[in-house]
Amino acid sequence: MNSFMHRLTHKRIPAAIFAVVILLTSMAIPNQTADAASSLNEHLTIGYWLGGNGGSNKTLAEADEGWDVINVSFIETKGTYYTPNLNMDLKVVYPGSEADQIAAFKADIKALQAKGKKIVISCGGQNGVVHFDTPAQRDIFLEGVIDIVREYNFDGFDVDFEGSSIAVMNPDKIGNLITPQSINLEYILRGLKAEFGEDFIISAAPEYCYVQGGAISTGNFGAFLPVLDACRDILTYIHPQYYNGFNGDFSWLQESANAGASFSQVYSAEGYRRLSEMLITGFVTQDKGVFVGLRPDQVAFGVPSRDGAGNGAQSPAVYAKALQDLIAKYPTFRGVMTWSIGWDETGNNSFVDTLDPIIEAANGNSGNTPTYTDAQAPTITGQPADQSVAVDETASLNVIASANGNLSYQWYTVANKVNYGGTAVSGATSATFNAPTSVAGTNYYYCVVTNTDNTATGNKTASKASNAAAVTVTSSSTPVVVDAQAPVINVGPTDKTVALNAAANLTVSATVAKGNLSFQWYSVNTKVNYGGTAINGATAATYVAPTNESNTSYYYCVITNTDNTATGNQTASVTSNAVAVTVSGPVTGDTWDASKIYNGGEVVIYQGQTYICKWWTQGDLPSAGGAWELQSNNGNGSNEYVPGAAYSGGAVVEYQGQTWRANWWTNTAPGSDSSWTLI
């Protein structure tokens, strides 16, 4: 696709004079003034506009009247990573020559501004890698942005840095900027404020892992916080991207973060509210220091306008509930941002039509704001109880629940009392369930109660699971002899091909309803010659095979269940498949090429070291981190998946005989959600 690329010439400002201007400007701004950008509405709907690069391909002037601020996308820096270029495909939405298209675009900006709208230029995005490592690079970038703002009369500058543009800030601490990227970014933002005045909007849209993520992890997580803290006195507002992450991130939020109890559903009204509150109340990070809260008028939240626009999209009613809750608790809370206006237009403007009335009401421009309420989760007051009956006797399980709405029921059979999931029992859809008792043994059941409330304006259904109950069936005439249950192997070990001295982890995963599991690994001559020799000390679910010699060796594991309560055989064993571990030379790759596009899993050599690509990238320096991971062991990056373990984007694992690559940080099983790709 041909793109409109507008490149600018630069007039160098003497650095010493410019530094004095910035210093005087920052001294003149009280640290907690609420008067910045006074011409803005107190509450805002903010949307990104991409020209012809996505969405409905409508002109800027055709955007819905409900948008208060429009972020034009994007300034990019292809080539040097510090020379700003306005990158839009105007010919898709504007007719005529390139000059005609630019003139029409500028006219639209002027017309919207006459209606009180603010048009902000955004820098970065997925493809806009930005690096300024020296004062000279910083000045070229700053002067180029000033020229762009002047030519198009933009009302502000939005920092939408992603990937390595933020990853290089990792060493910074709150109150102590040490990386050139952060130091120069603060300089640039203060320079723009000094050049265009107090009403000039300074906003930011980092992914939430780079902000609130600092409370739960280190490294890239929280990397944007130090520069955000340094620029808080000139920041108009921040609207982090609450998408493209992992929905369970904050289920292990540390109490020491002083951010309240943990919450697991990022993509929910509670998640958007809690994440926003963290920025207002402040929190303690894992390795960046203490982040002091921002003013409520400096905080908004960013969400996808509809399915397809971003991972985790919810219905506009969910966003409305979060927005209403936040404005009710923090009357000056700034508002909501979405990616993108074009995506919303393809959905009949459902996002802005739902959210703008709430913003208008909060600004005092309408009478009553609509109220969005979710269906009430059922309250279970009577749990099903364990049953012990003889063969063919009745085993009746009951659940008692209540809610404002209509209740429905579904019973499930499950492997044990704590292993939820299981299988729905056909026809078991009432509050009472008579479990089958024709065969002696113990089975487990629980019930999911669902409340449907058609009067709810948000989510119309809500469910809750009961406790699981055991139904033990015994013979009345003869004693039941019960043997220990044989383990069930869920995941067996897989073949490995690794470099000399690289890690070769062989893992087996097994479950059993009752008893205790033990493991013993064996070495064997071939894959089919079972017997072999027990390996001394190899008695865990994971065995690290030796790789100090180039050869092929074979291994398998015997898993034994010991059940001392069994009345028959108290042990039962199962043997895994045998696998080959082949030790070969180190993984090599082509020399890194700045102009080449790399996808996740590709290997390159850069400055004598081996790196593996974690996701799509072009031009990101491997040594900067971000999309690249250093391979210290020269191995093939492949390890057996460990249930419950956390994996970073780009990690490669073996799972159930297949190879998977993580798309982003995750602790879910491969294949269970979109965080993994089969390779």
pLDDT value at position 26? Answer: 39
**Same domain, yes or no: 239 and 383:** no
Max intra-chain CA distance, the chain: 100
Q: Are residues 90 and 223 in the same domain?
A: yes
- Measured at the CA of 564, the angle between CA 560 and CA 568, to 5 degrees, comes to 85
Same domain, 600 and 579: no
Helix (H) or strand (E) holding 401: strand 400-402
| Whole-number Å distance between alpha carbons of 120 and 153 | 9
Decide: helix, strand or coil at residue 604. strand
Does the active-site annotation cover 270?
A: no
Does residue 15 have a pLDDT over 70?
Answer: no
Domain CATH for 52: 3.20.20.80
Q: Please, are residues 399 and 382 in contact by the beta-carbon 8 Å criterion?
A: yes
What token pair was written down for 230? 């340094």
Residue 527: which residues within 8 A CB-CB, separation 6 or more? 554, 577, 578, 579, 580
As a whole number, mean pLDDT of residues 406-422 equals: 80
Could you count the other beta carbons within 10 Å of the beta carbon of residue 289?
18
pLDDT at 194: 93
Q: Tokens 């039962």 appear where? A: 572
At 482, list the tokens: 């019960």
- Do 669 and 559 lie in one domain? The reply is no
Contact 56, 105 (CB under 8 A): no
Note whether residue 479 is domain-resident: no
Read off the amino acid at residue 489: I
Instruction: Record the tokens describing residue 250, joined without a space.
Output: 């904050």
Average pLDDT over residues 188-208: 95
599: in domain: yes
CA torsion, points 74, 80, 81, 84, in degrees to nearest 10? -30
> Alpha-carbon Rg of the chain, whole angstroms?
30
The answer to whether residue 373 sits within a structural domain is no
pTM attached to this predicted model: 0.55
Q: First and final CA of the chain: distance in angstroms?
A: 28
Q: Are 185 and 227 in contact (CB under 8 A)?
A: yes
Q: Answer whether 593's CB lies under 8 Å from 461's CB.
A: no
Separation CA 653–CA 163 (nearest Å): 23
What would the mean pLDDT of 358-378 be, rounded to a whole number?
Answer: 74
- In this structure, are 267 and 321 located in the same domain? yes
Tokens of 452: 């449907």
How far is 301 from 277, CA to CA, in rounded Å? 10
CA distance readout (Å), 371 to 9, 368, 460 = 51, 9, 14
Is residue 54, in this structure, part of any structural domain at all? yes
Is there a single domain that holds both residue 82 and residue 179? yes
Predicted local distance difference test score (pLDDT) of residue 150: 96
**pLDDT tens readout for residues 148-163:** 999 999 999 999 998 8
> In this predicted structure, what is the pLDDT of residue 530?
73
For residue 620, which of 647, 648, 600 has the smallest C-alpha distance?
A: 600
Q: Which residue has the higher pLDDT, 86 or 500?
A: 86
Are 541 and 653 in the same domain? no
pLDDT in tens, 281-317: 999 898 999 999 999 999 999 999 988 888 889 999 9
Residues ≥6 apart with Cβ < 8 Å to 179: 168, 169, 170, 171, 172
Do the beta carbons of residue 458 and residue 477 sit within 8 Å?
A: no
User: Closest Cα to residue 190, out of 172, 202, 179, 199?
Assistant: 202
Give the position of tokens 């690096």: 131
Task: Report the amino acid identity of residue 56.
Answer: S
**pLDDT: which is higher, 549 or 202:** 202
**In the block, residue with structure tokens 């009472």:** 432
Looking at the fold, whether 433 and 454 belong to one and the same domain comes out as yes
Counting residues of the chain whose pLDDT is more than 90, the rounded percentage is 46
How many domains does the chain divide into? 4
Strands (E), 264-399: 283-284, 290-291, 300-304, 335-339, 379-382, 387-390, 395-398
3-state secondary structure of 446: strand
Residue 118 bridge partners (DSSP): 69
Hey, which residues does 557 pair with through a beta bridge? 521
Q: Chain-wide mean pLDDT for the chain? A: 84
- What pLDDT is stored for residue 645 in this prediction? 67
Tens digit of pLDDT for each residue in 260-277?
778 878 899 999 999 999
Distance CA 642, CA 668 (A): 10
Query: Residue 323 and residue 337: Cα distance in Å, rounded?
Result: 11
Q: Find the angle CA(371)-CA(374)-CA(379) to the nearest 5 degrees.
A: 135
Two tokens, residue 257: 């973060």
Asked whether residue 257 carries a pLDDT value surpassing 50, the answer given is: yes
Residue 69 bridge partners (DSSP): 46, 118
Q: How far apart are CA 364 and CA 366, in angstroms?
A: 6
Which tokens hold the place of 40?
Answer: 């803005």
User: pLDDT, tens digit, for every residue of 79-118?
Assistant: 789 999 888 888 888 889 999 999 999 999 999 999 999 9
Strand partners, 497: 582
Does 482 reside within a domain?
Answer: no
- Read off the pLDDT of each residue in 52-66 and give the average, rounded to a whole number: 82
Label residue 420 by pLDDT band (50, 70, 90).
low
Single residue among 443, 474, 505 that ends a domain in this structure: 474
Q: The tokens 């998977």 sit on which residue?
A: 660
pLDDT at residue 423 tops 50: yes
Q: Mean per-residue pLDDT for 230-256? A: 85
What mean pLDDT comes out for the span 62-71? 95
- Residue 459 inside a domain? The answer is yes
Is residue 507 within 8 Å of residue 642, measured between CB atoms? yes
> Could you give the CA distance from residue 637 to residue 513 in angstroms, rounded to a whole number?
34
Mapping DSSP to helix (H, G, I), strand (E, B) and coil, where does residue 33 land? coil
In a shared domain, residues 180 and 256:
yes
Range of the structural domain that residue 407 is part of: 379-474
User: Which of residues 567, 584, 601 is at a domain's end?
Assistant: 584
DSSP string covering 36-48: TTTTS-SSEEEEE
**604-636 confidence digits (pLDDT tens):** 888 767 777 877 888 888 876 778 877 643 333
Listed range (294-303, 341-350, 666-675) with the worst mean pLDDT: 666-675
Q: Are residues 238 and 278 in the same domain?
A: yes
Give a yes or no: residue 80 inside a domain. Answer: yes
Q: What is the mean pLDDT of residues 449-476?
A: 82
Q: Are residues 580 and 594 in the same domain?
A: no
In this structure, the answer to whether residues 197 and 71 fall within a common structural domain is yes
What is the C-alpha separation between 399 and 383, in angstroms, rounded? 5
Arithmetic mean of pLDDT, 57-80: 90
Q: Are 562 and 571 in contact (CB under 8 A)?
A: yes
Residue 438 is part of a domain; what is its CATH number?
2.60.40.10
Provide the 10 A C-beta neighbour count for residue 3: 15
Q: How many residues does the chain have?
A: 679
pLDDT at 646: 65
**Most confident range, picked from 44-58, 69-83, 198-212, 499-513:** 198-212
Residue 391 has pLDDT above 80, yes or no: yes
Is the pLDDT reported for residue 476 higher than 50? yes
Q: Within 13 Å of residue 418, how many CA atoms lie on the same side as its CB?
A: 4
Residue 451 within any structural domain of the chain: yes
Q: Which is catalytic among the residues 42, 65, 98, 162? A: 162
> Any idea what the CATH number is for the domain that residue 629 is in?
2.10.10.20
Single residue among 474, 499, 526 that ends a domain in this structure? 474
Residue 390 in contact with residue 475, Cβ under 8 Å?
yes
